[in-house]
Amino acid sequence: MLDMDRIPSHVAIIMDGNGRWAKKRGLPRLAGHNAGMKSMIEIVRRSKALGLDHLTLYAFSTENWKRSAEEVSGIFKLLIRYVESELRVIMDNNVRIRILGDYSPLPKDSRAAVEKAITQTAGNTGMQLNIALNYGGRAEILRAVQHLASDAKAGRVDPEEITEESISDYLYTGRTETGCGDPELIIRTSGEERLSNFLLWQSAYSEFVFTDVLWPDFTPEEYEKCLEEYQSRDRRFGGRK
């Protein structure tokens, strides 16, 4: 049974399996993404109800541009639809939306939807929903290093005093960006067991739960099973038991 006193503060999810879900049903891939969006809505709502501080969802990676133009366009249209349909509920639930990644290459209407969600929820103080959009872990680390090097060159940072914590501060999840820090738990659906360039620095001591359930079938009940699995772990961070 889920222990409500031990809910992780930050959960990150790799939402995988939309295409396979659609293929199993003889449907186009976009039908899988549409079904996946419905699952995402339910998981966001359950996370808020459970009292999470931060939920990070891997929505679109830097590698996803390799997919067909039709599929990429359809994903961005779903993003617009999500903002249009859920923004009022998000506001009512005091949820704040932040973006991990560089969303500037997105189509103009998609960028407008993203900026609307960020702006309108900026003053909310409840759960923070981080959407990893055009995100890649290596690109994030490269960006952080470039900014850190620039600050060191300008004399704002002493290279001898750079620590792991100061590097973390320059990431999208750092204090100067979204302030959500590292996830205690990373969940990946669909049976795949890899990070796929997601939160590479931040996952150093995260717990991982992999489930065979395809994302469109990932219900709040399945989500809570993953949280129960997390709660059964003994997190030692490299120390001895």
Q: Which residues are catalytic?
A: 16, 64
CA distance 187 to 206: 10
CA distance 226 to 219: 11
Query: How are beta strands 96-100 and 54-61 bridged, if at all?
Result: unpaired
Residue 105 CB: number of other CB atoms within 10 A? 11
Residue with tokens 């997105």: 106
Long-range contacts of range 169-173, CB-CB < 8 Å, 24 or more positions apart? 170/143, 170/144, 170/145, 171/140, 171/141, 171/144, 171/201, 171/202, 172/100, 172/101, 172/130, 172/135, 172/140, 173/56, 173/100, 173/130, 173/199, 173/202
What are the two backbone dihedrals, phi and then psi, of residue 185, each rounded to the nearest 5 degrees?
-135, 135
